[in-house]
Amino acid sequence: MNSNQILLAPVLSEKATNAKGQKKYVFEVAMDSNKIEIKKAVEELYKVKVDSVNIVVVKPKPKRVRYRYGLTRMFKKAIVTLSSGEIDFYKL
């Protein structure tokens, strides 16, 4: 699998932005990717050294719009801790 197919997008929420102080970066990743593939993809794309990778599968939540009920989408996100280097999402 290609590195661009593994890392889909950075998560730029308030909680993810505050985690940058601890050298933690959050990415939305492909559902069939694992920790080893994610680590290699981040190191290849951003030229940094990854210390650890934690994975969370975000479950769908029920939502209602007017009279219709539905679910939000399910996705997988990875919390990547760096040992050296820094990632600037606005530079690329």
The CATH number of whichever domain residue 70 belongs to comes to 3.30.70.330
Distances from the Cα of 47 to the Cαs of 44, 73, 82, 85, in angstroms?
Answer: 6, 31, 11, 8
What confidence score (pLDDT) does residue 89 get? 79
Number of domains making up the chain = 1
The rounded distance, in Å, linking the Cα atoms of 17 and 41 is 21
Query: What does the pLDDT average to over 58-76?
Result: 95
- The reply to whether the predicted model has a pTM over 0.85 is yes
pLDDT at residue 67 in the model: 92
Residue-level pLDDT at 27:
96
Q: Residue 92: its pLDDT value, please?
A: 54
Position 63 scores a pLDDT of 95
**Domain of 19?**
3-83
Closest alpha carbon to 91 in 30, 33, 49, 47: 47
In a domain, 20, yes or no: yes
* Sequence-ordered list of residues with C-beta below 8 angstroms from that of 50, at least 6 positions apart, any chain: 39, 42, 43, 80, 81, 82, 83
43-52: average pLDDT: 94
Average pLDDT over residues 69-76: 96
In a domain, 77, yes or no: yes
